[in-house]
Amino acid sequence: MRNNKKGFPVRVCNAAFSLAFTIFSLLQISVSNAQTATSSPYSRYGLGDINGKSNGQSFAMGGTGIALQNDSLPMFFINTANPASYCSSRLTTADFGINYQQMQLESSSTKKTINSASLGYMTLAFPFKKWWGACVGLMPYSSVGYKITDNLPIDNVGNVDYLYEGSGGINQLFFGNGIKPFYALPRMFTKSTKYKQLIAKKNADNTLKSDSAKRVDLCLMNSIMKRRKEAQAISLGVNFSYLFGGIDHSRRTIFPATYGDYNTSTGTTTRISDVYLDYGLQYAHTIDSVRGRELKRKVKLLFGVTFAAQTNINAKTDSLTYNYYDYQGYESVRDTVENNQNYQGKITLPLSLGVGVGFKKGDRLMVMADLAMQNWSSYQAFNQPGGLKNSMRVSLGAQMVPNSKALQKQYLSRMSYRIGVRYAQTALELKSTQLTEQAITCGFGFPVGRNYLLQNFSMINVGFEIGQRGTVNNDLIKESFFKATLGFTINDRWFVKPKFD
């Protein structure tokens, strides 16, 4: 048992941390199947709106994150955009957030505004070794939420109403690991016979060896060590994800009462349950001096790659079609046209590839850029093509912290200031028009306490996004949206051996 004087604050902090995270986990799981994270009519296609893997930090930076990784000092964040980043954390980190969205739908004749809120993400990362870290989390993979009414005149029938409605989405429960496979190379070199031979030559008697020869041996030793340290900065990662959830689509055809025929209702429910893998690679090149002059703040050049292969996942679908008569608001079913339950099949998720670059100057300035592509033209559901196009996204973001080590009274200097922009060609092409999406983002990180002795750090992350998707041309719908996220990041030291029994 720990000494009360020194152990009690640590136990209380860990207990509060664990309790808060457990409560949030239960809330997330309890509502994950009922949440509606979108109100877009375009979510009726494919698997719906695909959610990006961004937290409160990367959301405010335009959604960038492929090359983003933590430094050796807190504050640490969890970057789920690239699993290779998990090995760069040194403290146990929890990150969870809440999303809000206001969307204005505009056609050539009408406008409508819809508000929605949802639990956004929940992740927990922990370091095993200096070269190995892991992360477990739960977040939405896709969201469906729409309600559309259309009215078309039909000869000899009259005006017929068509009602389309959809809800649900796919959730992603994942466990990821990130490692630095070459982390031990510098230490292995210092223990090698080659290194001992070079040291022996370096320390040879001056009468037996010239200064130029010594310099050659020293340069050789430094060159070998430099190459090994560069290899040490390479990290690899993989996410093992379990995709689960259901998507409901319904369509009603309502004939005019004077026509005297029965209406038709068609409903389908698709349930997904399978494993999905995605991979990541990162490399960080550190520049600590220029032409022999040591830099006050080290500069890091960051590179990242993400990849997910085309994957067929298991799915089941239920479909029910019946004719009914609407009598004063009540349905009276006449007959069942189709009733197909638990039909098993496959859904093809596309290949995806992302490339990111970044620039970091100490812990003060960070600039990131991403390019991501997905081959949605290969998407199929139950052997039926989805009619989607390949998508592409470009993101640019930056973060600045004036002085992370400023005194408590200089709070504004300790804050994180973030800004970003993104542009995307979506997977939707309707009426010969491929829809595009563009947005600008900004946000702030508010540090909440810091304790270097107990290694406990927290931050509240607030992010905002304004953008639009689609167009009013060709009888399409333009979506103008405002999104906000409120995230909480907590760092704490776990798995510490007690010093007193």
Q: What is the pLDDT of residue 261?
A: 67
Q: What is the pLDDT of residue 216?
A: 63
Q: What is the pLDDT of residue 187?
A: 87
Q: Report the distance separating Cα 241 and Cα 141, nearest Å.
A: 10
Domain chopping of the chain, boundaries: 4-180+233-492
Helix (H) or strand (E) holding 400: strand 391-400
pLDDT, greater one: 406 or 492: 492
- Cite the DSSP H helix spans in 192-315: 193-202, 211-232
Q: What is the pLDDT of residue 489?
A: 95
Query: For helices 211-232 and 193-202, what crossing angle results, to 10°?
Result: 150
Does pLDDT of 140 surpass 50? yes
Does pLDDT of 149 surpass 80? yes
* Mean pLDDT, all residues of the chain: 86
Give tens-digit pLDDT for 419-465: 999 999 999 999 889 999 999 999 999 999 777 666 678 999 999 99
Q: What is the pLDDT of residue 45?
A: 93
Give tens-digit pLDDT for 185-194: 888 888 888 7
Question: For the ranges 21-30, 203-212, 225-234, 235-244, which has the lowest average pLDDT?
Answer: 21-30
Q: How far apart are the first and last CA of the chain?
A: 5
Q: Which of 64, 44, 45 is nearest to 53 (CA)?
A: 64
Tokens 């206001």 locate to 102
Mean pLDDT of 164-170: 93
Which residues, at least 6 apart from 122, have a Cβ–Cβ distance to it below 8 Å? 24, 25, 28, 95, 96, 137, 138, 139
Q: Report the distance separating Cα 265 and Cα 287, nearest Å.
A: 65
Q: What is the pLDDT of residue 16?
A: 44
pLDDT, greater one: 407 or 446: 446
Q: Which of 142, 116, 186 is nearest to 46 (CA)?
A: 142
Q: What is the pLDDT of residue 30?
A: 41
Share of the chain above pLDDT 90, in %: 59
Does pLDDT of 258 surpass 50? yes
Give tens-digit pLDDT for 317-368: 999 999 988 777 677 888 888 999 999 999 999 999 999 999 999 889 999 9
pTM: 0.85
Tokens 């370096």 locate to 202
DSSP 147-182: EEEEEEEETTTEEEEEEEEEEEEEEEEEEEEEE-TT
Does pLDDT of 416 surpass 50? yes
Does pLDDT of 501 surpass 80? no
Q: What is the pLDDT of residue 500?
A: 56
Q: Report the distance separating Cα 201 and Cα 288, nearest Å.
A: 28
Q: What is the pLDDT of residue 202?
A: 65
Give tens-digit pLDDT for 259-307: 656 889 999 999 999 999 999 999 999 888 777 677 778 899 999 999 9
Does pLDDT of 248 surpass 80? yes
Give the confidence band of 203 by pLDDT, cuts at 50, 70, 90.
low
CA distances, 422 to each of 239, 350, 427, 470 (Å): 25, 22, 16, 15
Mean pLDDT of 224-229: 83
Does pLDDT of 6 surpass 50? no
Written as six digits, the tokens of 314 are: 């298991």
Does pLDDT of 204 surpass 90? no
Written as six digits, the tokens of 74 are: 């807190």
Does pLDDT of 206 surpass 60? no
Overall fold of domain 4-180+233-492: Porin (2.40.160)
Q: What is the pLDDT of residue 18?
A: 52
Angle at 336 between CA 332 and CA 340, to 5 degrees: 135
Q: What is residue 304's three-state secondary structure?
A: strand
Q: Report the distance separating Cα 316 and Cα 268, nearest Å.
A: 10
Mean pLDDT of 148-164: 83
CA distances, 379 to each of 388, 427, 451 (Å): 7, 10, 49
Mean pLDDT of 402-409: 81
Give the confidence band of 493 by pLDDT, cuts at 50, 70, 90.
confident
Q: What is the pLDDT of residue 495?
A: 65
- As a three-state string, the secondary structure of 5-71 is HHHHHHHHHHHHHHHHHHHHHHHHHHHCCCCCCCCCHHHHCCCCEECCCCCHHHHCCCCCCCCCCCC
